[in-house]
Chain A
Amino acid sequence: MHQVEIATTQETLLDTPEMVLNMGPQHPSTHGVLRVILRLDGETVIDLDCDIGYLHRGMEKIAENRMYTQIAPYWDRLDYIAAVSNGLVWVETVEQMMGLQVPPRAHYLRTILTELNRIASHLLWLATHALDIGAVTVLLWALREREEILKIFERQFGARLTCHAWRVGGMPNDAYDDFSTDVRRFVNNFPKRLDEYETVLSENRIWLSRTVGIGIISAEDAIAIGLSGPALRGSGVAWDVRKARPYAAYADMDFDIPLGENGDTYDRYLVRLEEMRQSRRIVDQALVKLPDGPVNAKLPKIVKPPVGDYYHSIEGPKGEIGCYLVSDGTAQPWRVRVRPPSFINLQALKQMCVGHLVADVVAIIGTLDIVLGEIDR
């Protein structure tokens, strides 16, 4: 049969090849050194691929050659935005493996400080997310509040970013003298400031048009990919490690889990804002209930967990951050494996981005709230 070749209109009229755009690792809004390779049709994303590893430091391998107590500072460098939360998962894993009884005061202080860290992390997310979408002023407003938290951290831990907040068995030292005054002041001022961000963003037409319906991921897909944290709750899945497997003093706290409906960028934005309110509520309660007593458990000279493996996870600001620890009974772990929430959340990027424009890719990277220190480890 004679084959007639029919040229499509596109072929005859215009040659429109796809363009490959290399976004990063030096790009203002890939939140670090993420490299995204975009295949574009005009400005529409057809396909994308993430290239990670530019910040790889071999944390898990380093951990195999360190004592259990020495590993804790390395955990601060995973998700450096939320060093306090990250530190907690390591010490809690070791404590639970050894069956240590941490005094209640330490649990409460851990709750307060990790929740403050969650607020700080969400504030930095808000700042950069708003900056990506073009609202520059929100950046500095959010950093202003974050500064208050960092001041508390500095007085408590002696460092602002990589705090090395916890020790196995408790805390390095008790809360400083004005701790509750400082935290109380922050807790009282914070709701007003949150309302300020809401006035600038939540009902802003441009903000709505940039976030509503962008980067939708359904609840089923979210679970299938393994999303956790606000990215999962934005899709309407009520999963929060603080509720499901309470650690520290969360079992005594009264708080709610915010849930989105559509799983779009706007929902995740609202979920995170509400999480900040809930975190403030937890800090408020924990401060009232804060018991007296020691902050350290009795520890052996050398920390040696029994032979075996153990998995423990906590609800970090980005999602469920977990630690899988294999011990051979010596003073050094045999294997440490991190479950980094950013790494797993980043997997959803392709599914969220395809079909959207380049500008939306930036917004979606922002809404996933990734930290490259944690992805590359």
Chain B
Amino acid sequence: MLLFAPIDFLNDLLLKFFSGDTINFVIWPLIQIGLVVTLVALWVAYATYLERKISAFMQARLGPMRVGPWGLLQPIADGLKLLTKEDFIPEKADRWIFFFAPYIAVAAAFIVFSVIPFGPDWAVITDVNIGLLLVLAVSSVGVLALILAGWSSNSKYSLLGALRSSAQMVSYEVGMALALIGALMFARTLSLSSIVAAQQSDSIWFVVYQPVGFLLFLVAGIAENNRAPFDLPEAESELVAGFHTEYSGFRWSLFFMAEYAAMVVVASVATTVYLGGWYFPFVYRLTEANGYHNLYVIVSILVFLIKASIILYLYFWLRWTLPRFRYDQLMDIGWKWLIPASLINIGWSAFTVFLAQALDISKVLHTIEHVGNRLNLTAAGKVFMIVMGLIGLIITGAVLSRINWRSRDFHLKTQRRNIRLVDVPKGKPAVS
């Protein structure tokens, strides 16, 4: 493997200066962190570029075209522009909080990447056994930044944006965490790498077992990131720019980066938990089995990036298609649709797993190969799970429609009216 010799070479070189432990626990993680931060920042920058391009194509225009070929250098130009702009702090703002809020936002978004498995082996910075909890905990710190920013700006629009965002993120945080539990019953671990490994050993993505959970997680994730159609905290047409109305220049760009980084986080978590992470059929057989270990890692990283990008594309697509919800409707969706649905999903998933085990024990259907750290299912078991997942989709839909039957918004489609056309002759107005 000449292609990847430099890695071994670097290892040997470092060994001359440091002890093995230092290299394993300090030097390599630092290199990984540097790489991940750089790559994620680049990814975030180009996510903005892609969003502009994709929205442009949806809207019959070209998008950025001037800076570099096809406007490829636009994110860099934008970054430079923002750096050189005045960093304005309103006179009556709470200076220090105003100062630090953007850093909290960025930190909360970026720290999560420390546990995201971009690929097998060296492509993950650290694999803690509470990985998913850490993701949820750290990303929910992001709401603090929004509240602080809105409060310290001393502007009513910012305050309203901050209030909205705190209510929204707290509500959807619940739904998001609950939605993940279903998948965890199959993975039987919180470590993100092990969740991927569980999907790899079953050669299946959890999205087929957990269609409900996947949908719920996506919706909650979009809301959690304050993206359209849930972008109320920064609803441009209502609150000017919401919590970051008073921010400008570099600090504003930090918020912007945090928003996109948070999007990438949710896309990455969705990929890891539901779409098999870096696992893709045949990649292992074509590379690792033939002895190309580093190639395997790199192809896996690419697979991960492509999957996450598809989810990001979904984000862009929704944003440029749908109108925005109103605040009370948003809360309705959070508490009357998402959370009941995720509770139903948990119950149904637990029942499904239990039923599979019961069937296996009572020798009706051979569903489980063995239960250890993970649930290894036979082919029959997989089919059983998929069918039960689809039934779960129907049950969730039925229960939700029963819960919300009386709400006004449930019957909206029937409220669509046709207008009358009249051909009035000359005369007075006719009230009808």
A256 near B423 with CB under 8 A, answer yes
User: Closest Cβ of chain B: how far from A17's Cβ, in Å?
Assistant: 13
Closest to A358 in B: B238
Q: Which of A21, A136, A207 contacts B156 (CB 8 A)?
A: A21
A136 near B320 with CB under 8 A, answer yes
B228 sits at the interface (CB 8 A): yes
B432 near A43 with CB under 8 A, answer no
Question: Which positions 209-244 of chain A face chain B at CB distance < 8 Å?
Answer: 209-210, 212-213, 219-220, 223, 236-240, 243-244
Closest to B328 in A: A357
User: Closest Cβ of chain A: how far from B326's Cβ, in Å?
Assistant: 5
B327 near A28 with CB under 8 A, answer no
Question: Which positions 393-432 of chain B face chain A at CB distance < 8 Å?
Answer: 408-409, 412-413, 415-432
* Chain B, interface residues (CB within 8 Å), range: 35 or more
B426 near A137 with CB under 8 A, answer no
CA of A172 to CA of B169 in the docked complex: distance in angstroms?
60
CA of A283 to CA of B423 in the docked complex: distance in angstroms?
17
A62 sits at the interface (CB 8 A): no
CA of A266 to CA of B156 in the docked complex: distance in angstroms?
30
B327 to chain A: which residues have CB within 8 Å? 43, 357, 359
Max count, chain B CB within 10 A of own CB: residue among A133, A134, A135, A243: A134
A271 near B430 with CB under 8 A, answer no
Closest to B432 in A: A236
Closest to A361 in B: B238
A91 sits at the interface (CB 8 A): no
A170 sits at the interface (CB 8 A): no
A195 sits at the interface (CB 8 A): no
Query: Can you list, as one digit per residue, whether each of B235-249 has a CB less than 8 Å from chain A (1) or not (0)?
Result: 111111000000000
Closest to B329 in A: A209
Q: Which of B228, B323, B431 contacts A220 (CB 8 A)?
A: B431
Closest to A254 in B: B423
Question: Which positions 252-291 of chain A face chain B at CB distance < 8 Å?
Answer: 254-262, 266-267, 270-271, 274
Question: Which positions 310-338 of chain B face chain A at CB distance < 8 Å?
Answer: 319-329
A206 near B324 with CB under 8 A, answer yes
- If the complex has contacts A135-B323, A206-B325, are A238 and B419 also in contact, measured as CB distance less than 8 A? no
Q: Which of A93-101, A156-164, A196-204, A332-340 contacts B (4 or more CB under 8 A)?
A: A196-204
B267 to chain A: which residues have CB within 8 Å? none
CA of A362 to CA of B160 in the docked complex: distance in angstroms?
15
User: Closest Cβ of chain A: how far from B39's Cβ, in Å?
Assistant: 30
Q: Which of B156, B229, B325, B430 contacts A237 (CB 8 A)?
A: B430
B424 near A209 with CB under 8 A, answer no
Question: Which positions 149-174 of chain B face chain A at CB distance < 8 Å?
Answer: 156-157, 160
A266 to chain B: which residues have CB within 8 Å? 417
Max count, chain A CB within 10 A of own CB: residue among B157, B229, B412, B426: B412
- If the complex has contacts A28-B240, A140-B60, are A259 and B426 also in contact, measured as CB distance less than 8 A? no
Chain B residues within CB distance 8 Å of chain A: 55, 58-61, 156-157, 160, 228-229, 231-232, 235-240, 319-329, 408-409, 412-413, 415-432
- Given A209-B409, A258-B419, A271-B419, 16 more A-B residue pairs with CB atoms under 8 Å apart are A21-B157, A136-B55, A136-B320, A203-B413, A206-B229, A208-B416, A209-B329, A236-B432, A244-B429, A257-B423, A258-B421, A260-B419, A261-B420, A262-B417, A267-B417, A270-B417
